[in-house]
Structure 1
Amino acid sequence: MEPSQIRPYRVEYDLANCDAEPLHLIRHFQGHAVLIVVDAESLLIKACSTNLAELTDRGLQDIIESDCRLIFDQETIEMITSIIQTEQYADHNPIELPLWRNELCPYGANLIMHHNGRFLVLELEPRDPQAAASAFLLKVDKSLQRISNVVNGENLYDTLVTEVRRLSDFDRVMLYKFDEAYNGDVVAEAKLTELPPYLNLRYPHTDIPKQARDLYLRTAVRHIVDTNPARISGVVSAANLPDIDLALSANRGSSPIHLEYLKNIGVGATMSIAIILEGKLWGLVACHHGSPKLIDYRLRSVFAMMGNIMSSHLALRESNKFRDQMLRTSLIRARLFDKMREEADIFRGLTGASSKLTKLMEAEGAAILLDDKITLIGKCPPEDIVLQLTRWLEIKQDSLYHTHVLEKELEEEDWFAGEVGGLLAIRLGFDSGEYILWFRPKIVETVHWGGDPAARKLVENGKVRLNPEISFAKWKEETRGKSRKWGRHHLDAAVALRNDVKEIILEKYQEVRRENSELSSAYGSLENYSYTVSHDLRAPLRNIKGFAEILWEDYGNLLDETGKYAIQTITDSVGKMERLIDDILKFSKVGSKEMELTEIDLRDLLMDIWEDHRPSHDVISLQLELSQQTIFGDRNRIRQMFANLISNSIKYARQSEEGSWIKITSTGNNGHCYFEVTDNGIGFDMRYAEGIFNVFNRLVSEDKYEGSGVGLAIVHRVVELHDGEITVDSKPGTGTDFKISLPNQPVSKSK
């Protein structure tokens, strides 16, 4: 079978679907080398390149499924068997086969091996005797020293391409640096004087599709010896054998599309060296030659080493740069942290250090949304746009969000317009709409492409193919709408600032607990003190609750049971504290305003209260026996008194055969109104009756019955304000009876 009769893939690909081209399964092999795929156990040949038949004077049908001993001598077979047992293929590559000489390998062959499932992939390629010459090895050593000793980053680029060209003698050697979209910028170049320069030009990501980039992460050096598609071999396999995975093969064939591209730009041979940083393809050293050119496998290994040295230099440089950036942001954060702590208020602390807040992210503007307040700093969108942005961020539910193409992100939102190009945001509460936002303006970015990217393709006969007259002449493009990109140190600083706020919140929680303790001990002065306390406690409590939820959301899966219990305790304590503050406010308001005395219809009032408090299921009934139908008093306070008594009876109801009930009676005599509120609930021991009307006094477990211990204190205070009296009688398991006496006549408004 002629190589040209073997299609590279089972499916035909052009530029319209080349992103799906399975490069690792190509059924072509470079014509200067030989492929032999054997079963690792039996050493039977399962696949081979078609040129093996020419070199052995055997038909392909005679080679497939034959013993590879027909190809190699006994010494080579023993060597292969020994390496299979150790599985240390990389340590032995390449194996010199001085006797394997033919028209392809006049000086003997390099045998390259790698394991692929149950198969052993063997490659034979020509051996260059000059690669092991002493003078050349000394030249290699000096090149490696020059690259290793470079200190300056830009000199590193130039030194690398210069030394690669010095050793390889390629016509042109370029260093590509990829952007986030894998467009490649030529940042260094060494070339023949007569060739046109490509330095500082950008080439589109489509030149090196994703699947090709992925292969560079597995094989650091890719060498195409001859770009002429007529000088390829096909790959034939045993019947029913799937296509062989040649991802790790040094001499696998090339995409016909890529070969056409190289032909169009006048390149006869190429070599590419991967530069990998943090597990990603940072860039490539791309080598071009005008005619076919073979680089010995041993020298290619040296170039792979150069790529590793380059990667190490870059990693060290990036690490030092990041360290300096983080040191700068840490110092600014420390000042912000101190300011928040000094002010004892996060919002005031952040707004009081507004210049540091923008400097932290190298932003032109910032917005703080916290405690139902908003402050804009520097160059920001209008306040209504900022609020729209936070609502949009709420939908995304990201604790950290960043983009340098905000206009593109919001292209479907008709409310956004302006000069803001970049946004960095941290959410300070789980669902509270509390954020810190940083803004960067749009910039104009000028890019010089190596030719117009849109002119690289053309359509012929319904197929998309490369333009044979492709030009790399400088083509200028200006883009608008983007901002400067946010760096990793900006993102880390944002997360760290968010954690700083959490720490302040936790500190304030401890302060709240201490203040609560002091409040409990000083409840006698509560009426004058409660307004101040509520103002001081409500904002930090909202923050504590929000950031406790953040801690659970971001770190819950990292915490042990003690940590989870601690967060749950914080959340529960905040809830109790909020209810306590509400009850304290109710208690303080009982006596904080003048009495508004009116005549009150008792039945209407009590039925209205019952509708608000009755359980959703008829588990308890209300009985009214009202001989006295009206009372003179402050309607809001009287309502609060009866509401607390009714809710108390509902809370402490018990199951019984007769059912749970509440009974309210009223009688009038000698200018007084007498009430009796009775239930058949759980009751209590009268030994504890003396303190039942004290603030925070509770006779039952808080775990079983929720409450703050303020409700009956409010009842007692309302009775006092009306110059009345209240007593209680109770028995465990039987029920409780409250008796109230109120004057049914005007009382002092100043009470």
Structure 2
Amino acid sequence: MSDEHLLAPAHLGGPAIDASNCAREPIHIPGSIQPHGALLVLSVHEMCIVQVSANIPEFFERPAESLLGQPLELLVTPTSLSPLKKMLTLEGRTHTFPVTLLKGLTYDATAHLAQGVLVLELERPNSPEVAADIYRATQQALTELDSSRDVLGLCATAASQVRELTGFDRVMIYRFAEDGSGEVVAEARHSDIASYLGHRFPESDIPRQARALYLKNLLRLTADVNAGVIPLVPLLNPVTGAPLDMSLMVLRSTSPMHVQYLKNMGVTSSLSVSIVQDGRLWGLIACHHTTARVIPHQVRASCEFLGRVLAMQLAAKRDAETYRFREKLKHRHQQILNAMMSSRLPVEAIRRPDLDVVGFMRASGFAVRLAGQVVTLGETPAEPELQHLLGWLREHHPSSFHTNTLSAFLPAATAYSDKASGVLGMSVSGHWEEYLLWFRPEIPQTVTWGGNPAKPVQSGEDGTVDLTPRASFEAYVQQVRHTALPWHPGEVAEAESMRDALVETTSVRLTALQEHHQQLQRAHDALGRSNAELQRRNEELAQFAYVASHDLQEPLRILGTYSDILLHRYQGQLDERAQGYLRHIGEQVFRARQLVRDVLTLSNVTAQPPLTDVDLNRVWEDISPTLPWPADAQVECADLPHVHANVAQVQQLLTNVFGNAIKFRADRPLRIRFTGEQRGEWVHLAIRDNGIGIAQEHAEQVFVMFQRLQSRTDQLTGNGIGLAVCKKVVERHGGNIWIDGQVGEGTTVSFTLPAVSTKTRSSPPVMT
């Protein structure tokens, strides 16, 4: 809403705000502040005081009028002026710092530049001990947020942590809908206070101009609804001749309508933190308290910071969930596009039952028009209704549109809500001459509101309208019709992607097919050349690794031999230190030779192996006798499936895993269990031991080349290559490998390999 549609403020002769005009209330220029702080407004160039709050004597012990026209340097220390002068170049940004008066008192000051004046808010500071507690609480909150797994869990954690940080009786995560209404999706509260979890609230509870301010100023505090307000002296700013814009102020007094709203709700103090995504108000962290509560700057700053973190994590989880959703649709999406773009009559290709264009979007009907041809599938509006809908779309939404409540935008759609309460439409031509439209029927719903969503207006005895926002917040259950299942963001993205692909090919489909074929041929030729070059380089690398290994092994072998000869031939002639040196040389030579062999093994894995049908039972029979089993070892091996793999690399993989189980055994009889089962196109294998185990936070670290969890002096330490080889082998086969373990309880190494019957595999299963 633009400023010209707002009313004049009441303190400048405007009308009283009531339920009939509150949507036009100028809440950014109330002309007053809350009484727990004070305000100074300074001229930019002279740094002289031009406007103050009427309670300024409580802070400076001087009458408010006596401060007007005075330079600030007569009141505060020189060091306090420095950060204020820096603010003169930061239009629209706030900055908080301590300000010390000449008489020795220090306040928290929040400053910002607006309309050619410098606005300075003063509040009493917190103690250093409280600040330290806030820092620790914020750290804990960040840790808890980071561990949340999904959107609802993240919101619930955020509500709990903000309540822990602020001490409010009730903290809610409030999410806005497209129509401006909102829903409480998470809540943390004192047991004695009412719950609003799952309740909806109408758009009028937070009107448009309030939502606009939440985008400008991410934090809003009402410390005490019963405290009254402190007017400004003078009411108009002498520099601008207009009311002071308080949009960015913390102390800005609260709208009388909202104050009454909070009182009706039984709330004395409230704090709201904006959750902003992509420049849009996603929702609020809304805090309520039944008694007055002044929240100091450090706590507010932490809450605002957590709000920003929550917004980023919500966006990340939303994008990740959309990506996962689209990944499930990718194969069918490509099938539909291929069928449409490879046909001279794309519309006819859409009729193919195997493509299931309707079910692709979980819709009940579909309409398409391309190249002058129209096709409808499933349940769709009748032809006259469809043409009326298209005419409305041309006028209001020229490129795309989606909703699950069509009748809220187009009342005539109520007549066919059983077929099209939900619409997802994409204009291919730009003016709906060519289009894709999916439809969903209505699904009657039950919605619980936080009170009757209709805002009542009560009249006084003299017939005047009283200031009466909603007075009841008891759960109000409403049956909602003409509403369909909402469209998932992934479905909207898929429809946009399909539209974009059709736009690129609509005018030149046949030519595009020819060019596409030529591009594929060129890409195939280039790929062949790249593969040949890659093969040549792999062969060179393998040859180099072999030669390097061979050339290094010989001098190392000789060095080890001679150290053994010296140790044995001159035994008794050398002192104990010399013999220790020779033994150490022998040990290091052995480690070096082992390292060279491991590097050669790793280099061999880098080449793409020939794949065959591999019987894992046979592989196990072959490698088991070669392993250095301790006498007390017991191995349970179930009947294992076949895999489509390279037998030599599978042998290397199992040898390394079992070798680790033997090497890192605990001080008890060794027990190992080897299991495997086919799940669709993949074989899941697991090797569990009862060894020394591994902390789960190191489960990824062990796959890093040359990474050792033991120290170099530990007798059990290896070269740090074995599991790196295992990871390389599994990944060369397209699978995944991961570790689950617990220190002292043993380790389970799990991995996936392709099943024998697989010809065209899906993406490999991820770690579970």
Structure 2: distance between partners of 1:57 and 1:227: 26
For 2:454, what is the secondary structure of its paired residue? Answer: helix
Structure 1: distance between partners of 2:122 and 2:268: 21
C-alpha displacement of 1:478: 1.1
Change (3 A) 1:380 1:251: same
Moved more, 240-249 or 381-390: 381-390
Write out aligned runs for 1:205-604 (5 A). 205-230=203-228, 232-236=230-234, 237=236, 239=238, 241-353=241-353, 355-370=355-370, 373-383=373-383, 385-386=385-386, 389-390=389-390, 398-412=398-412, 418-428=418-428, 433-454=433-454, 456-460=456-460, 461=462, 463-467=464-468, 470-506=471-507, 508-510=509-511
Change (3 A) 1:212 1:101: farther
- Matched with 2:98 is 95
- Matched with 1:537 is none
Structure 2: distance between partners of 1:263 and 1:131: 33
**1:49 equivalent among 33, 44, 53:** 53
Structure 1: distance between partners of 2:514 and 2:307: 59
- Given that 1:131 and 1:296 are in contact with CA atoms closer than 8 Å, whether structure 2 keeps it comes out as no
C-alpha displacement of 1:132: 4.3
Change (3 A) 1:224 1:97: farther
C-alpha displacement of 1:308: 1.1
C-alpha displacement of 1:129: 0.9
C-alpha displacement of 1:113: 1.2
Structure 2: distance between partners of 1:513 and 1:146: 55
Structure 2: distance between partners of 1:184 and 1:397: 25
For 1:325, what is the secondary structure of its paired residue? Answer: helix
Structure 2: distance between partners of 1:84 and 1:406: 49
**2:28 equivalent among 5, 24, 27:** 24
Alignment deviations for residues 648-699 of structure 1 (CA, whole Å, 9 cap, x no partner): xxxxxxxxxxxxxxxxxxxxxxxxxxxxxxxxxxxxxxxxxxxxxxxxxxxx
Alignment deviations for residues 546-572 of structure 1 (CA, whole Å, 9 cap, x no partner): xxxxxxxxxxxxxxxxxxxxxxxxxxx
Change (3 A) 1:208 1:130: farther
Change (3 A) 1:501 1:127: closer
TM-score using structure 2 length? 0.60
C-alpha displacement of 1:147: 2.1
For 1:333, what is the secondary structure of its paired residue? Answer: helix
- Given that 1:150 and 1:156 are in contact with CA atoms closer than 8 Å, whether structure 2 keeps it comes out as yes
Write out aligned runs for 1:131-170 (5 A). 132-170=130-168
**1:61 equivalent among 62, 65, 68:** 65
Write out aligned runs for 1:596-635 (5 A). none
Change (3 A) 1:356 1:393: same
For 2:444, what is the secondary structure of its paired residue? Answer: strand
Structure 2: distance between partners of 1:117 and 1:440: 50
Structure 1: distance between partners of 2:394 and 2:71: 67
Structure 1: distance between partners of 2:361 and 2:50: 60
Structure 1: distance between partners of 2:152 and 2:69: 54
Structure 2: distance between partners of 1:415 and 1:287: 42
Structure 2: distance between partners of 1:97 and 1:425: 61
Percent identical among aligned pairs is 27
Structure 2: distance between partners of 1:431 and 1:132: 61
- Given that 2:358 and 2:364 are in contact with CA atoms closer than 8 Å, whether structure 1 keeps it comes out as yes
Alignment deviations for residues 144-182 of structure 1 (CA, whole Å, 9 cap, x no partner): 322233233222112111111112111111111111122
- Given that 1:29 and 1:235 are in contact with CA atoms closer than 8 Å, whether structure 2 keeps it comes out as no
- Matched with 1:195 is 193
C-alpha displacement of 1:315: 0.8
Q: What residue ranges of structure 2 are gaps of 5+ in the alignment?
A: 1-8, 516-768
Structure 1: distance between partners of 2:114 and 2:369: 58
Structure 1: distance between partners of 2:226 and 2:156: 30
- Given that 1:368 and 1:375 are in contact with CA atoms closer than 8 Å, whether structure 2 keeps it comes out as yes
Change (3 A) 1:346 1:178: same
- Matched with 2:175 is 177
Structure 2: distance between partners of 1:403 and 1:196: 33
C-alpha displacement of 1:51: 0.5
Q: Which has the larger radius of gyration?
A: 1
Structure 1: distance between partners of 2:300 and 2:63: 33
The amino acid of 2:157's aligned partner reads: T
Moved more, 427-436 or 326-335: 427-436
TM-score using structure 1 length? 0.61
The amino acid of 1:337's aligned partner reads: L
Structure 2: distance between partners of 1:414 and 1:281: 30
- Given that 1:100 and 1:109 are in contact with CA atoms closer than 8 Å, whether structure 2 keeps it comes out as no
Cα RMSD (Å): 3.3
Change (3 A) 1:384 1:141: closer
**2:14 equivalent among 11, 14, 17:** 11
Alignment deviations for residues 554-591 of structure 1 (CA, whole Å, 9 cap, x no partner): xxxxxxxxxxxxxxxxxxxxxxxxxxxxxxxxxxxxxx
Structure 1: distance between partners of 2:512 and 2:199: 60
For 1:51, what is the secondary structure of its paired residue? Answer: coil
Structure 2: distance between partners of 1:472 and 1:505: 54
Aligned residues: 503
- Matched with 1:34 is 38
The amino acid of 2:37's aligned partner reads: A
Structure 2: distance between partners of 1:158 and 1:373: 50
Change (3 A) 1:34 1:346: same
- Given that 1:45 and 1:68 are in contact with CA atoms closer than 8 Å, whether structure 2 keeps it comes out as yes
Change (3 A) 1:336 1:17: same
- Given that 2:77 and 2:101 are in contact with CA atoms closer than 8 Å, whether structure 1 keeps it comes out as no
- Matched with 1:125 is 123
The amino acid of 2:100's aligned partner reads: L
For 1:213, what is the secondary structure of its paired residue? Answer: helix
Structure 2: distance between partners of 1:76 and 1:396: 55
For 1:93, what is the secondary structure of its paired residue? Answer: strand
C-alpha displacement of 1:450: 0.9
For 1:128, what is the secondary structure of its paired residue? Answer: coil
C-alpha displacement of 1:185: 0.9
Change (3 A) 1:100 1:270: farther
Change (3 A) 1:100 1:145: farther
Structure 2: distance between partners of 1:413 and 1:260: 39
For 1:215, what is the secondary structure of its paired residue? Answer: helix
The amino acid of 1:181's aligned partner reads: D
For 1:446, what is the secondary structure of its paired residue? Answer: strand
Q: What residue ranges of structure 1 are gaps of 5+ in the alignment?
A: 1-5, 103-107, 515-751
- Matched with 2:726 is none
Structure 1: distance between partners of 2:53 and 2:158: 35
- Given that 1:176 and 1:186 are in contact with CA atoms closer than 8 Å, whether structure 2 keeps it comes out as yes
Structure 1: distance between partners of 2:298 and 2:161: 16
C-alpha displacement of 1:36: 0.1
C-alpha displacement of 1:45: 0.9
Change (3 A) 1:116 1:435: closer
For 2:485, what is the secondary structure of its paired residue? Answer: coil
Alignment deviations for residues 229-257 of structure 1 (CA, whole Å, 9 cap, x no partner): 53534452455721111111111111111
- Given that 2:414 and 2:482 are in contact with CA atoms closer than 8 Å, whether structure 1 keeps it comes out as no
Structure 2: distance between partners of 1:467 and 1:231: 19
For 1:25, what is the secondary structure of its paired residue? Answer: coil
Change (3 A) 1:173 1:246: same
C-alpha displacement of 1:94: 2.5
C-alpha displacement of 1:32: 1.0
Structure 2: distance between partners of 1:434 and 1:296: 58
The amino acid of 2:98's aligned partner reads: I
Structure 2: distance between partners of 1:46 and 1:244: 11
